Chain A
Amino acid sequence: EVQLLESGGGLVQPGGSLRLSCATSGFTFSSYAMIWVRQAPGKGLEWVSTISASAGSKYYADSVKGRFTISRDNSRSTLFLQMDSLRAEDTAVFYCAKGSVSTWAILDFWGQGTLVTVSS
């Protein structure tokens, strides 16, 4: 059974940093692209970042480029999102998702999400 479990969310002040983790099991982590998607309270879904299986390719939404860094540890089947220079508008539930076997951009399994609140 595929499982993804995010952690690391919490309350942080504007300008602060936070590192999210996504621990996975039930599939060969090193073979799949992984994705972060966020959802502001009461709003829709927003793609944040994608990393290829080997970590050789990384993509970011313009809204987070230069502030967020996606990475992965294939030996630990874990995905990360380092978030720096956080702003109030980054407040959201952050989901990690697995890319499908055929393409990086079909999100076939999702974690339950972790809430990030940026506020003073």
Chain B
Amino acid sequence: EIVLTQSPATLSLSPGERVTLSCRASQSIDKYLAWYQQKPGLAPRLLIYDASNRAAGVSARFSGSGSGTDFTLTISTLEPEDFAVYYCQQRGNWPPITFGQGTRLEIK
């Protein structure tokens, strides 16, 4: 089973700042990583798939990069609605589909 490790666990930032979240896989998953955003009390929402492809309707301020074992999600300019928990998920070697433990992005 591929283990995904996200860092940091929590980030405290202000609107307008740039942020980069990290996700590391325990073995190579090529480009097969997705990112989801989850706000309190709501279902997750797909942001990025296959490392760098934005899902339909996702703002261009979200971008993803990486391959192999190291991946990043960058939010170019934080908006108030971006403060949420972000999960990475791999499909490079499934089943099982696995998720990272999440990074909480909170307002400073």
Which residues of A (55-95) have their CB < 8 Å from a CB of B? 59-62, 95
Set of chain A residues within 8 Å of B99, measured between Cβ atoms: 44-47
Q: Which residue of A lies closest to B44 (CB)?
A: A110
Q: Check if B91 sits within 8 Å of A50, measured CB to CB.
A: no
Q: What's the minimum C-beta distance from B34 to chain A, rounded to whole angstroms?
A: 6
Interface size on B, residues (CB 8 A): 25
Bound-state CA distance A35–B50 (Å) is 18
Set of chain B residues within 8 Å of A45, measured between Cβ atoms: 36, 38, 44, 87, 89, 99, 102
Partner of B87, one of A44, A105, A109: A44
A-B contact count (CB 8 A): 59
Set of chain B residues within 8 Å of A37, measured between Cβ atoms: 44
Kindly state whether residue B101 has any CB partner on chain A within 8 Å. Answer: yes
Q: Check if B43 sits within 8 Å of A113, measured CB to CB.
A: yes
Q: Check if B44 sits within 8 Å of A105, measured CB to CB.
A: no
Kindly state whether residue A18 has any CB partner on chain B within 8 Å. Answer: no
Kindly state whether residue B42 has any CB partner on chain A within 8 Å. Answer: yes
Kindly state whether residue A107 has any CB partner on chain B within 8 Å. Answer: yes
Residue among B34, B43, B56 facing the most chain A CB atoms (10 A cut-off): B43
Residue among B95, B99, B100 facing the most chain A CB atoms (10 A cut-off): B95
Partner of B43, one of A47, A62, A112: A112
Kindly state whether residue A100 has any CB partner on chain B within 8 Å. Answer: yes
Bound-state CA distance A60–B99 (Å) is 15
Name B's A-contacting residues (CB within 8 A): 32, 34, 36, 38, 42-46, 49-50, 55-56, 87, 89, 91, 94-102
Name A's B-contacting residues (CB within 8 A): 35, 37, 44-47, 50, 59-62, 95, 100, 103, 105-113
